[in-house]
Structure 1
C-alpha cells in the first residue's frame, strides 16, 4: 500500500446518511411514477365521461353538474373509489336521457356498476362494454336499445347482474353468456329475441333469477335449467315455448316464482310437486292435460296459483286447508269435473284460507249443488267466479256472508229458485252476474241496497213480476241487463233517472207494456238501449232525442205507433236502429240519411212514400224495409215500384203563406206573454219563486245551526266567503254546509247573485246539491247572505291530495282518483253540452271538488260562473279563477268559454295524478305542470306519478301479474295524455268534455276489472 495514497474513512453516521439519501430518492421517484400513472388513469375516466355526455341529449338537465367546475368524481350519478379516484359506479336512472351510449364507456376500466334504467337510449349496446372486466352489475332496462346483445359481453368476467329488459333487442341470446360463471341474475324480458333458450346456459350454476318473458324465442324449455340448484325465480311466460315442462325443474327446491303462462306447453304434471318454497305458480294459457296433482297442497308458502286456460281434468282433490297464505286461486277455463257427488268438497277446505282475495273456478265442468260452506270463505274475498259450469239447485243464502266481495259471477249455470235476499248484505259489490240460469220469482228489493254496483246482469232467467223501484237507488250503475225474463208491468220511470247508465240498458224479451216514459231522455250518456220484444205501445217519445250518446237503439217487436220522431236526428252517433215489427207509419224520415248508420231495420210497419238511396240506404245488406207495402223507389235491389210523379207545387204556395202567417202571430203572442210574465216575476221576492223547491231558513236558524258561526265549525275559507258545518232541525236533523258571504269584500254580492242564478238552471248528480239560500239581515242590522248546501262528509279533493296531516289522511288509490276525475268530467260535460243554457264554472280546482260518503265527486262553488248566451251575471273583478288553473287566454282579455273549464280540468287531472300543485316551486324557468307531464309521454309516465299520494300500485289489488301491471301503465299513459290535451295553451287544441268522458270511461272500466 502506498503510504502517500490518501485513506478515506467513513464514519458510521456518514454511511447512514448516504443510504438514507438513496432510499428517499427511490421513494420520491416511485411516488411520482405512481402519481403520473394515476393522473393518466383519471384523465382516461374524465375523457370517457365527457364523451358519454357529448352524444347524450339531456332535456331535464340531469348532467348539468358534468362540467369543469367540479371534479368528475363529484358529478351527478358518478361514484369513484377512495384509493385510486377512478370511476366505479355510473348510475343515471329515470333522467329522461336520450341518444346513443358512447363506446367510450368501455374506457371506464374500474367500473363495477353501470345502471341507466328508464331512459331513452337507443342504437346498439356498444361492444366496448366487453372490456369492463371488473363490471359486476349492468342494468340497461327500459330504454330503446336495438340490435344484438354483444357476444363479447363474456369479457365482463365478474358480471353477476345482467338486466336488459324492455328494449328492442333482436337476435339470439349469445352462447358466450354461458362463460360468465358468476352470473346470478339475467333479465331480458320484453324484447324481440328469438332462437330459443340456449341449453348451454345450464352451465351457469350460480343462477338465482332468470327473467326472459315476452320474447318470441320458440323451442322448448332446456332440461339443463335443472342444473340451477340455487334458482329462486324462473319467469318464461309469453315466449312461444312448446313441448313439456322438463322434470328436472321439479327438483329446484329453492324456487319461489315459476311462470310459464301464455305458451304452447303440453303434457301433464308429475304427481309429486315438491316446491317447498314456491310462492308464485303460473301455468295459465297452455295445453297441459291430466289431473292437477294434489301434492300442491304441500306448497304451504303458495300465495298465487294460476292454471287458467288449460285442459286439466278430473276431480279436483287439492286440500287447500294447508295453504293459509294463499291470495289468488285461478283454476278456471279447464275441464275439471267428475260427476261425483262430493266433487265440490274442496270448497270446505278453503275455510282456512283466511287471506284469500280471489277464487276463480269458472268455465269448467263442475256440477252438483253449490255447498253452503261457500259462505265460510274469507271475509277478504273480493272476486268470486263460478260462471259457465253446471251448478244446479238454489244459490245458498250463506253467500251473503261474503261481505268483502266486489265482483260475483254465477252466470251460465243451472241455478233455480229465488235470488236470495241475503245478496243485499254485499254492500261493496260492484259487479253481479246471475244471468243465464233458471232463477224464478221476483227481483228482491234488497238488490237496491247494493249502492256501489256498476254492472248488474239478471238476464236470461225466469224472473217475473215488476221491475222493483229499489233499482232506482243504484246511482253508480253503468249497465243493466234484465232481458229474456217474464217481467211484466210498465217500465218504471226511476230506471231512466239513473243518469249513471252509460253503457247498456237491456229490458228486451219480457212482457212489459204501456208507453215509453219521457224520462228516457234523461239518459244522456247511455250507449245502447234495447226494449225489443215487449208489448210497449203509444208513440215513440220525442225525448229519446236527448239520449245524445246512443249508438244502438232497438225498439223492434212492440206495438209502437205514429211516426219516428224527428228529434232522433240529434243522435249523431247512432250506428244501429231497429224499429221493425211495430205499427209505425208516415214517410221514411230524411234525417236518417244524415246519420252514419251501419244497420237500419224498418221492416213490417206501415211506412209510405219514397225510400232514400244514399248512405245506409245504398247498402242492401245494411238495411231492410220488408213488409211495408206502400213504399216505392230506393235502390234497384229492393225491387220496389217507382214512385209516381205528383204536382209538387199545387196549392203549396198559398198554404205556405197561411202557415207562415199563423206561426208569426203565435210567436208574437207568445213573446208578449213571456215578457209580461218575466216583468211580473222580477217584481216579486226572489225566494217566492223557489219556495216549492227550497226550504226557507232565517239568519237565526243558521246562527243556531252553526253554533254562532263558531271557529270549531269552520270548514273552509275563500275570498268571498267562509263555510261552516251546521245542523238544521226541520222534520229531521239535516247536516249542511253553510256558505256565508263576506259582503264587505268587493265582488262578494255579485258572486252570490251569480251562484244563485247558476243553481236555478242546473241539476246533476255530480254537482253539489244546494238546499236553500238566505238573503236577510243579521241581529245588528247588517246585510246577510248565505247559501246552504248538502254536507260532504269526505271533504274536498284538495284535502286528500295535499293535506299536511298525512298521518290521519287516508291515501287515494288509482281507481279512486280516476273515479273522481270521471265524476268531475261528467259534471262539466253536463254544464257544457247538456245544460240549457250552457254554464261555464270558471273556478275549477281541487278545493271545489267535494266528496260524499261513497267518495263520489260533486263540483261546487259557482261564484265565478258564467251562463253563456246571457248578459247575466258579469264579473267586474278582472280575471276570474285561481292562479295555476286559469286558462292562459284569460290573460289576453278573452271572454269566458267552456274551453277554459277544460283547461282547468286538465290541470286538475295532472295535479291529481302527479300529486304536484301547478304552482309548485319546481315549476319555473319555463317548466310547468303541463310541460312536466308532457315530457314524460309516452315512455316515462311512471316517473311523474306520485306513488305516495296515489298509492298507484299497492292500492290496486289486481296488480299481481305482468299483464295487469302493463294495463295499469297503459292506463296511466292514457290519463296523462288526457290531462296534457286538455291543458294545451291553444283553446282549439283542447278536448271537448264529451270526448274526455268518452276517453275516461274505458280507463275506468279497465281499472275496475283489475281492481276486482
Structure 2
C-alpha cells in the first residue's frame, strides 16, 4: 500500500458521488465497491464517477458486479499509481478509452461481462506491468492488436465471447510467460501458428468456436505444462498429432466438431479421455473406449484406392444425373409458383450432417418404451445413444397432429444463430417427408416440473433461486442480446431442464416467435399454456417480450410456493396471482412449507428475501404490459437477493 489510511466507503445517490470522491483526494489507496455495500435508489452511470481521477494514490479499484451503466470515464487515466482495475460484470457500453494506456503500473485489468464495443486499444501492448487482461463477454470486434503478442510477462489473456476477427500470427509465440490463453467464441480464422508450441508455461488453452482451419500443429506436443486444451467447433482437418502423448499433465482435451481423421493416439493422457472429446469428426479411428471404428492399418492404401474408384466412376456420374433431375424438378415447381422451403438442416447454427432415421432407431432401440423420457402434444422425446457414444435427447414430431410440422420448422428457425449456456442446444436433425426429429443435448436431471412435484425430489432455497436466475438469464439473452428478438411464448416448469450440475436450460421453442424490432409485436393465434399466458396473448394473440415476462412471474411464484397455477384450489376469481397478492403481507402462508421451519434461527431473514422474490414476481405480472419489469432488471434483482442470502 502506498498509503496506510484505508477508507470504508458508503456512497449515496448520484449527486453525492463526485463530491465524496473529490473530498477523499489522495488519502485513498484502496477502493472496493461491492454490490449491496453502496445504496442507490436508481441506476448509477459510471461517468458519474469522473471525480475518481482525484484519488491519485489509488492502487486498487474494484467496481465489479454492480449495475453500472454508461461508459468508462477517461479520468481513470489520471490514476498513475493504479495497479488493479476491476469493472467486470456491469452494463457498461461504448469503447475502451485509450486513456487507460497511461496506467503504466497497471498489472490487472478486468473489463469482462459488459457491453463494450469497438476495437481493443493497440496501446495495451505498451503496458509493461500487465499480468492479467480479461475482456471476455463483450461485443468487441476487429482484429486482436499485434502489440499484444509482445507482452512477454502477461500471464492471463481472456478475449472469449466477442466478435474478434483476423488470423493468429506467428508472433503469438513471443508470449513466453502466458499460462491462460482463451480466445474462444470469436470469429478468428486461418491456421493455428506452429510457434504456439513455444509457450512452455501455458496451462489452459481454448480456441473453440472459431473458424480455424488446417491441422493441429505437431509442435503442440512441446506444451509440457498444458492441463486443458479446447479446439472444438472449428474447421480443423488432418490427424491428431501423436506428439500430444507427451503432455503428461493434460487432463482435459476437446477436439470435437471438426473435420479430423485418422488414428486417435492412445498413449500418455489419451488413456483417460472419453469419446466425448472426439465426437462429430470426419473419419477418426482408434481404441474401443473412444467408440470409433478400429483402424485398419494393413488395408488403408487399398481402402483409399477403392474410395477413389467409387468417387470417380460411380458417385460423380450418379451425382450429375441427380443434379439434372433436381434442376428439372425445381424448374417445374417454380413454373407452377410452388414455394420450395429451405433445407431444415441449413437453418441450424453450425449444423452438422443430418442423421438418418435408421441411426435414430438404432440409438433408441427402435424408439422403445424404456427410452421414452417425455410426451408432448406434438410428439415424444426419447433418450438415445449415438454410434459415437454421445447421449442425446431425440424429439420426434407426430406429423399427424396439426401444427407439428410448423413446430419443427419454427424450432429450427429460432435456434439459428442463438447460443447461451441456459438454452437447450440442438445438435442436429432428421428431416424426411414423413419423419421429423430434433437431436438435442441430453439433460440428465430431467425437468423442473419433476423436481418440484415428484416424490423423493427436493430443491432447497438456493437451488430454486439459482434455477430462476438461469431461466431469467436465458430470457434476458433472448429479449435483449439477440440480433432478432426471440419470444419463447411457452415458459413453464416442464420446459426448464436441468443438467448434471443442476444448471437450468430453457427448452421447447416450437411456438417461439422472432421479432425484428425491439419490443415490436405481431398477431398470432398460436397459443401456449393457458395458466402461464399473459392476458393480451390469450385474448388477442399479441406476442411481445412482455408476455414472456408475465410467464416468468407466474413461474417464479410457482417455484417458491410449490403451487401449480392450475391447482384445484384456484377456481373462479381466485388465481395463483390473486392468492399471492392477498397474502403478500404474510409470506409464510404462501411459500413452500418445506423451505421454512418456524423454529429456524434465520426465519425472519429468509422471509424477508422470500417477500422480495414474491414482490418481484408481482412486478412481472402486472396486467398492463407497459407496467411490467424487463428481464434485465429481473436478473439484477435476483442476483442482489442471492448475494444477500450468501452474506
Bin of the TM-score, shorter chain as denominator length? 0.5 to 0.7
1:254 is paired with a residue whose SS is: coil
Work out which of the residue numbers 299, 302, 305 in structure 1 matches 2:247.
299
Q: Which aligned pairs between 1:942-981 and structure 2 lie closer than 5 A? A: 944=638
Work out which of the residue numbers 369, 379, 385 in structure 2 matches 1:448.
369
Q: Which aligned pairs between 1:684-699 and structure 2 lie closer than 5 A? A: none
1:298 to partner: Cα distance: 2.8
1:414 to partner: Cα distance: 11
Work out which of the residue numbers 418, 430, 435 in structure 1 matches 2:361.
435
Measured against aligned partners, the alpha-carbon deviations of 1:529-567 in whole angstroms (never above 9, x if no partner) come to 36xxxxxxxxxxxxxxxxxxx41489xxxxxxxxxxxxx
Matched, 1:208 2:139: no
Aligned to 2:400: 529
Work out which of the residue numbers 31, 44, 53 in structure 2 matches 1:89.
31
Could you tell me how far apart the structure 1 residues matched to 2:531 and 2:196 are?
62
The 1:939/1:189 distance shift into structure 2, 3 A limit, reads farther
Larger radius of gyration: 1
Could you tell me how far apart the structure 2 residues matched to 1:169 and 1:192 are?
6
2:214 is paired with a residue whose SS is: coil
Could you tell me how far apart the structure 2 residues matched to 1:183 and 1:816 are?
34
The 1:551/1:132 distance shift into structure 2, 3 A limit, reads same
Aligned to 2:144: 197
Could you tell me how far apart the structure 1 residues matched to 2:611 and 2:250 are?
50
The 1:311/1:919 distance shift into structure 2, 3 A limit, reads closer
Answer whether contact 1:918 1:929 (CA < 8 A) is retained. Answer: no
Work out which of the residue numbers 585, 607, 611 in structure 2 matches 1:920.
607
1:113 to partner: Cα distance: 1.5
Matched, 1:888 2:542: no
Aligned to 1:937: 631
Could you tell me how far apart the structure 1 residues matched to 2:561 and 2:50 are?
54
1:137 to partner: Cα distance: 1.1
2:200 is paired with a residue whose SS is: coil
Gaps of 5+ in 2: 297-351, 385-392, 411-448, 472-490, 498-507, 509-527, 534-556, 597-601, 621-627
The 1:114/1:281 distance shift into structure 2, 3 A limit, reads same
Aligned to 2:493: 821
Work out which of the residue numbers 801, 825, 839 in structure 1 matches 2:460.
801
Work out which of the residue numbers 282, 294, 304 in structure 2 matches 1:335.
282
1:936 to partner: Cα distance: 8.1
Could you tell me how far apart the structure 2 residues matched to 1:280 and 1:161 are?
23
The 1:890/1:183 distance shift into structure 2, 3 A limit, reads closer
Aligned to 2:437: none
Could you tell me how far apart the structure 1 residues matched to 2:496 and 2:91 are?
37
Aligned length: 445
Answer whether contact 1:305 1:328 (CA < 8 A) is retained. Answer: no
Could you tell me how far apart the structure 2 residues matched to 1:172 and 1:142 are?
19
Q: Which aligned pairs between 1:982-993 and structure 2 lie closer than 5 A? A: none
2:163 is paired with a residue whose SS is: coil
Aligned to 1:255: 202
The 1:948/1:347 distance shift into structure 2, 3 A limit, reads farther
Gaps of 5+ in 1: 1-37, 57-62, 74-79, 338-342, 351-358, 370-408, 416-432, 456-473, 483-500, 507-527, 531-549, 555-572, 577-765, 768-790, 834-843, 851-856, 870-879, 892-902, 952-1012
Answer whether contact 2:531 2:566 (CA < 8 A) is retained. Answer: no
The 1:824/1:505 distance shift into structure 2, 3 A limit, reads closer
Could you tell me how far apart the structure 2 residues matched to 1:236 and 1:184 are?
17
2:165 is paired with a residue whose SS is: coil
Answer whether contact 2:46 2:73 (CA < 8 A) is retained. Answer: no
Could you tell me how far apart the structure 2 residues matched to 1:160 and 1:300 are?
31
Could you tell me how far apart the structure 2 residues matched to 1:299 and 1:832 are?
53
Answer whether contact 2:135 2:160 (CA < 8 A) is retained. Answer: yes
1:151 to partner: Cα distance: 1.9
1:811 to partner: Cα distance: 9.0
Work out which of the residue numbers 38, 41, 44 in structure 2 matches 1:98.
44
Could you tell me how far apart the structure 2 residues matched to 1:942 and 1:187 are?
22
The 1:328/1:811 distance shift into structure 2, 3 A limit, reads farther
1:281 to partner: Cα distance: 1.5
Matched, 1:346 2:287: yes
The 1:502/1:300 distance shift into structure 2, 3 A limit, reads closer
2:632 is paired with a residue whose SS is: coil
Answer whether contact 1:480 1:505 (CA < 8 A) is retained. Answer: no
Could you tell me how far apart the structure 2 residues matched to 1:320 and 1:815 are?
44
TM-score using structure 2 length: 0.53
Work out which of the residue numbers 107, 113, 126 in structure 2 matches 1:160.
107
TM-score using structure 1 length: 0.36
Answer whether contact 2:397 2:405 (CA < 8 A) is retained. Answer: no
Could you tell me how far apart the structure 1 residues matched to 2:645 and 2:34 are?
25
Aligned to 2:403: 551
The 1:88/1:948 distance shift into structure 2, 3 A limit, reads closer
The 1:919/1:235 distance shift into structure 2, 3 A limit, reads closer
The 1:412/1:147 distance shift into structure 2, 3 A limit, reads closer
The 1:183/1:794 distance shift into structure 2, 3 A limit, reads same
| Greater percentage in helix | 2
2:235 is paired with a residue whose SS is: coil
Answer whether contact 1:232 1:257 (CA < 8 A) is retained. Answer: yes
Could you tell me how far apart the structure 2 residues matched to 1:171 and 1:887 are?
46
Aligned to 1:126: 73
1:246 to partner: Cα distance: 1.8
Measured against aligned partners, the alpha-carbon deviations of 1:632-687 in whole angstroms (never above 9, x if no partner) come to xxxxxxxxxxxxxxxxxxxxxxxxxxxxxxxxxxxxxxxxxxxxxxxxxxxxxxxx
Answer whether contact 1:93 1:115 (CA < 8 A) is retained. Answer: no
1:121 is paired with a residue whose SS is: coil
The 1:277/1:885 distance shift into structure 2, 3 A limit, reads farther
Measured against aligned partners, the alpha-carbon deviations of 1:205-241 in whole angstroms (never above 9, x if no partner) come to 2201101123333222233332222211111123332
Aligned to 2:185: 238
Looking at both structures, which has the greater relative contact order when contacts are Cα pairs under 8 Å and sequence separation is at least 6?
A: 2
Aligned to 1:218: 165
The 1:410/1:162 distance shift into structure 2, 3 A limit, reads closer
Aligned to 1:264: 211
2:369 is paired with a residue whose SS is: helix
Answer whether contact 2:58 2:79 (CA < 8 A) is retained. Answer: yes
Aligned to 2:238: 290
Aligned to 1:275: 223
2:157 is paired with a residue whose SS is: strand
Could you tell me how far apart the structure 2 residues matched to 1:183 and 1:793 are?
54
Could you tell me how far apart the structure 2 residues matched to 1:847 and 1:141 are?
31
1:886 is paired with a residue whose SS is: helix
Q: Which aligned pairs between 1:751-900 and structure 2 lie closer than 5 A? A: 793-794=455-456, 800-801=459-460, 814=467, 821-822=493-494, 849=562, 862=568, 864=569, 866=571, 868=572, 886-888=579-581
Could you tell me how far apart the structure 1 residues matched to 2:143 and 2:201 are?
25
Measured against aligned partners, the alpha-carbon deviations of 1:698-720 in whole angstroms (never above 9, x if no partner) come to xxxxxxxxxxxxxxxxxxxxxxx
The 1:321/1:435 distance shift into structure 2, 3 A limit, reads farther
Answer whether contact 1:91 1:116 (CA < 8 A) is retained. Answer: yes
Measured against aligned partners, the alpha-carbon deviations of 1:127-148 in whole angstroms (never above 9, x if no partner) come to 2211112211112223333333
Aligned to 1:145: 92
The 1:923/1:247 distance shift into structure 2, 3 A limit, reads same
1:224 is paired with a residue whose SS is: helix
Could you tell me how far apart the structure 2 residues matched to 1:179 and 1:103 are?
24
2:276 is paired with a residue whose SS is: strand
2:608 is paired with a residue whose SS is: coil
Could you tell me how far apart the structure 2 residues matched to 1:67 and 1:266 are?
54
Measured against aligned partners, the alpha-carbon deviations of 1:903-939 in whole angstroms (never above 9, x if no partner) come to 99x988xx99xx9999822578999343788868316
Answer whether contact 1:504 1:529 (CA < 8 A) is retained. Answer: no
